[in-house]
A and B are shown apart, each in its own frame.
Chain A
C-alpha cells in the first residue's frame, strides 16, 4: 500500500467515524438532492404567495404591493364558506378513513381467508378508478338513491364526505400495511405467551408499531380530501361548494391574487396547525 493510498484509507475511515456509516443525512450529495427537490416543490408556491400581494388582477407582471386581495378574500363569503366546508369534510373524512383503512390493513396483514387475492383487488379499485369516472358514479348513485341534498349544515356535506372516505381509506390501508409488513410477528406471540389478551396485544404491541404508518396514512387522507376536485365537483351542489371547486370556478378565467391570497392563508393555517399538533404529540422514535 502506498503512502497515498494509506492516507486516503485512513482519511475515509476518519470521515466515516465522524459522519457514521448510516448518517446518510450528512452526505453532501444527498443533501443536494433534497435541497433541489425542495426548491422544485417550493419555487412555484413561493411565486404564488408573492403574487398574492401583487397589485394586478392577473398575476403576470409585478405592479406593486397591496393587501387588498387579502381583504377581498376575507370579505368573500363564498370563499370563506367553501374554506370551512373543505376543512370540515377533510377532518371527518380523515378520521373515519384512517380508522377504516387501518382496520382493513390489520385484517389483510393478519388473516388468511378464501378469495383474499380478489378482495385485495377490490380494495385497490378506488385507487385504480379514474377520478372522473368515480365522480360521475357518485353523482349518479346519490341521485338514484335519493340522498337528500337540502339538509342543514354540516349534514349537507355528508354525500361528499362519504365519497371522500370511499377513495381515501384504501390509500390509508396501503400505507399502514406497508408499515405492518416489517413487523416482527414473534413480538405478538411473545405478548400472547406472557398472557396478554388479543385486545391488549393489539393495543400495546401492534398499535404502537403501526403509529408512523397511521400518521402517514392520515396525512395522505387529509391531503386527498382537501385537494380533491373532480369527485367533489360532481357530488357538490350550490350549498356544498368546497375550496377546490370554488377555486376552480374562479381560476378558469384567470388566477386572481384573491385565490393566491386564500391559498397562502391555507398554507399558513396548515403549518401552524401542524406545529401545534407536533408540540402536543412529541414524536417518539419508534421501532
Chain B
C-alpha cells in the first residue's frame, strides 16, 4: 500500500466516480431520511423537522427491543447456516475442473435471477402441508411400512413458523455467501496446501491451519453480505412466517406503509444503520494498519 500522494492523479481518477456516486446518489437521499427521523408527523402527509429525539426514544420501548433482538438472532443463525452450506459448495466449485467451473457458478446464481417473490411462492408450494416435501416423506413413510406400525402419516408443519423464515432467508441469500467464498478459495495458492500435506499435516489440520485462515477475507465478506440483508428482510417473514415471525424489517416496512409514520420508520432504520456502522468501524479500527481487507 502506498500513500495517495505518491500518485495523486491515479488516486483521483480511481476515487472520483465512486465517491461522486456515493455522495450524490446515496448519501444525499439518506440525508433526507435522516432529517425525517428527527421530525414529527403533522397530519397525513406533512412532516416537520423539529429536531426531536422522540422517534429514537420510542425505538427503545421493550416491544421494539424484543423484536430487534429476535431479528439479530435469526440473522445470525441464517448466516451460520449459509456459511456451513456455502463453504463446501464454494470449495467444490473452486477445485472443480475448469470446464465445469463456470457452469457450477452459474448453477448457484441462476436461482437468484428468478424474482424473489416467485421463488418464495415456489417455496410455499414445496413446504406446505400438501406440498412436495410432505408428499415425499409420506411416500417414504408408507414405503417403509411405518404406517402399519405407527398409524397414518402426519404431515409436518413446515410453513408459517420460524423454521420457514430461516429456511427462506437461507434459500434467498445463499449465493451472496458462495460468491465471495469462491473468489477467495479460487485464488488460494495451491502450493501452500501441497506443502502442508507433504509435510505430513492431515487434511483436517491443513484446512484449519492453512485453508481457513487464508480464505478468511472471503468468509468475512460473505458474512457481511448475508447478515446485513437478512437483518433487514421483511418480505420473507411476511410471506412464510407465522404469527410470531415479525422482524425489525417488518416493523420498518409497516411504518412506511400502513402505519404511515415515516419519522419513526426513518429512526428505526437509522438505528439499524448506526449499529451496523458502529460494528464495521470497530472492525476497521481493530484490523488497524495491517488491514488490507475490505469493508
Interface residues of A (CB under 8 A from B): 21-25, 30-31, 33-34, 37-38, 40-45, 47-48, 51, 59-60, 99-101, 103-113, 117-118, 120-134, 136-138, 140-141, 144, 162-163, 165-167, 169-171, 173-175, 177-179, 181-182, 198, 212-213, 216, 219-220, 222-223, 226-227, 229-230, 243-244, 247-248, 251, 255, 259-260, 263, 266-267, 270-271, 274, 278, 283, 285, 287
Contacts and interface: CB of A to CB of B under 8 A. Distances in A.
Interface size class on chain B is 35 or more
A178 B29 contact: no
A182 B184 contact: yes
Given A122-B27, A128-B280, A141-B32, A37 B89 contact: yes
Which DSSP category, helix, strand, loop or mixed, fits chain B's interface? helix
The DSSP consensus for interface residues of chain A is helix
Given A174-B221, A227-B113, A247-B115, A117 B285 contact: yes
B294 A173 contact: yes
B14 interface: yes
A223 B116 CA distance: 11
Contacts of A25: 92, 95-97, 100
Nearest to A198: B10
Interface in B138-190: 171, 174-176, 179-180, 182-184, 186-190
Contacts of A104: 14-15, 17-18
Interface stretch (B50-58, B60-68, B261-269): B261-269
Interface in B92-117: 92, 95-98, 100-102, 104-117
B280 A23 contact: no
Interface in B43-80: none
Given A111-B4, A122-B22, A140-B32, A40 B121 contact: no
Contacts of A263: 114-115, 118
A108 B85 CA distance: 30
Contact of A100 (B18, B27, B114, B116): B18
A248 B98 CA distance: 38
A24 B114 contact: no
B11 A107 contact: yes
B113 A213 contact: no
B95 A24 contact: yes
Interface string B255-284: 010000010011001101100110011001
Contacts of A267: 110, 113-114
B11 A41 contact: no
Given A121-B280, A132-B249, A244 B117 contact: yes
B29 to A, nearest CB: 4
Contact of A112 (B1, B109, B269): B1
A175 B111 CA distance: 20
Contacts of B292: 109, 181
Nearest to A179: B183
B4 A223 contact: no
* Most central of B96, B115, B253, B295 by chain A CB within 10 Å: B115
A132 B115 contact: no
B232 interface: yes
Given A124-B277, A174-B225, A223-B113, 4 more contacts: A111-B4, A113-B11, A178-B294, A227-B113
